[in-house]
Amino acid sequence: MSGTLTGVGADGRITLAHGGGGSAMRSLIDEVFLAAFTQGPPAVQEDQARLDLTTLAQAGDRLAFTTDAFVVEPLEFPGGNIGTLAVCGTVNDLAVGGATPVALSAAFVLAEGLELALLRRVVEAMARSAAQAGVRIVTGDTKVVPRHACDGLFVTTSGVGVIRPEHTISIAAGQPGDVVLVNGTLGDHGAAILCARGDLALQTHLQSDCAPLNTLVDTLLRAVPSVHCMRDATRGGVAGVLSELAEASNVLVTVNEAALPVHPEVEGVCEILGLDPLFLANEGKLVAVVPACHAEHALAAMQSHPLGRNAAIIGTLQASASGQGAVHVVNEFGGARVLTMPSGEQLPRIC
């Protein structure tokens, strides 16, 4: 659509009028957000979304609810933008709990001076990601702040999903003897964002792995209903997830370093900068923990899905001799190092 929005300046940018509740704000909502998010005939606009309880109850016996804020820098990067992240991040938080995502909300904080064309690209990316995940964006909010109060655009999304009765998936449900899997290469998002910022003279073809994982999770759960744990490895990377798993399930997690799937370009970036791909953020990767007897079946199910072609078994769970959870990474020579919970982000504003 062309930049004909009411209240937009001659340079095609958002103004404070778009947050004032008047005709400019109505134009912004109608022509940008509703134009992208509405499915079917336009509905009466209420102050809340209304979800049918009968339909929800037919899909499961529990509701899952999650929320997340996104402040990534830059707003656009190879493989996506802040809108892609906002939808995929919330969908994935629901999916790894065994929930079928049903509906999302989206709240936007726009800085005065934001390019209208950029906002449209973000909103259109959200609509595409929601369609890919089979979920609706049903309600939201928009605020505009002075240009010095926000450097561009922040997005907060919340989501509701329905958990199937047969699934009880928890970070505290790991058992000694279980096997740990990931669905693909590690650190792609973190490395792509780092290179996209342009602070380093690194030329790569890296793209963020940003993707909704709910269809992959469906494929896995159909093959192995007895998945014990799942968690998407975002900030803190796989290292953060494994540390939480070890602590919550009170087990020793042993990781086979040679089995970790890492893209050669990510590996190169990590070697140059002294980073560990286990700590780098991902936006389309999950960690799954399954009984050993189902490990190969789970791996085959993941690899049958487009988002799991590079899936791998990376470790095992054992009883903790000390009585406390821990993560050990074993190299090809048999040496082990302790992997601890990240104390902070390797890169700020990664999602």
User: Please, which residues have CB within 8 angstroms of residue 75's CB and are 6 or more apart in sequence?
Assistant: 81, 82, 118, 122, 152, 153
74, 116, 119 from 125: Cα distances, Å: 15, 14, 10
CA pair distance 49, 81, nearest whole angstrom: 26
Structural Rg of the chain based on CA atoms: 21
All structural domains of the chain, each given as residue ranges with its CATH number in brackets, are: 16-43+53-163 (3.30.1330.10), 179-338 (3.90.650.10)
| Mean residue pLDDT across the chain | 93
Residue corresponding to tokens 């699934």: 167
Residue corresponding to tokens 């919330």: 90
pLDDT tens, position by position, 208-249: 999 999 999 999 999 999 999 999 999 999 999 999 999 999
- Please give the helix or strand (H or E) that residue 39 lies within, else none: none
For residue 9, what pLDDT is reported? 67
Sequential pLDDT tens for the chain (351 residues): 445 688 776 689 999 999 998 999 999 999 999 999 988 776 678 889 999 999 999 989 999 999 999 999 999 999 999 999 999 999 999 999 999 999 999 999 999 999 999 999 999 999 999 999 999 999 999 999 999 999 899 999 999 999 998 889 999 999 999 999 999 999 999 999 999 988 777 778 899 999 999 999 999 999 999 999 999 999 999 999 999 999 999 999 999 999 999 999 999 999 999 999 999 999 999 999 999 999 999 999 999 999 999 999 999 999 998 889 999 999 999 999 999 887 766 778 999
CA pair distance 136, 133, nearest whole angstrom: 9
Cβ-contact 138, 49 below 8 angstroms: yes
Q: Is the peptide bond before 212 cis (omega within 30 degrees of 0)?
A: no
Got the DSSP string for 67-105? EEEE--SSSEETTEEHHHHHHHHHHHHHHTTTEEEEEEE
